[in-house]
Amino acid sequence: MVRMPVHMTETRVRVAAHPDVELFVAQSAGPADRALLVIHGGPDWDHTYLREPLVQVGDRYRLVLPDLRGCGRSTCGLSPDQYTPDAAVADLVGLLDTLGLAAADLLGFSYGGLLAQRLALSAPDRVRRLIIASSAAYPVPSDAFADWPGPAQLSPGPRW
């Protein structure tokens, strides 16, 4: 099956007023109910290294690839105290608001995986699915799976 190239639009989107922050965002025109917010690594990279592999699914998903504040073509030059994980997460929530996306699937790559987890914890209603790639996962509480069935209660799977 041959896929046609997916067109990506590029815009700057205002996500915060104090301080004034605009994120540079590349998007595909895929369906809004299948939005995939891609959070790049860094914290000083931009989204471009993730664009080429992901554009292959741009006809099935509305790809949203922002450059985080201080990265790529987004707002930079703020005071050092304005570059925090919480500020980056607030920018991403603001981006979802501005784009009219009630919820999105998140793909966090490297440092973006840590931000994706923060976003999922701080605004769980905005996250449909969480994908963490080449990143660390926060420690899981010891009782997180206490109500899961034990191995004896699970049906046997295929033997490999």
Q: Would you put residue 55 in left (φ > 0), alpha (ψ -120 to 50) or beta?
A: alpha
From CA 38, how far away is CA 27, in angstroms rounded?
10
Domain 8-138, CATH 3.40.50.80 — does that match? no
| pLDDT tens track for 65-101 | 999 999 999 999 999 999 999 999 999 999 999 999 9
Please tell me whether the overall predicted TM-score, pTM, comes out greater than 0.95 for this model: no
From CA 86, how far away is CA 89, in angstroms rounded?
5
Mean pLDDT of the chain: 88
| pLDDT tens track for 141-150 | 666 667 766 5
- Report the pLDDT value the prediction gives residue 102, as an integer from 0 to 100: 96
From CA 17, how far away is CA 114, in angstroms rounded?
24
Q: What average pLDDT score do residues 12-20 get?
A: 96
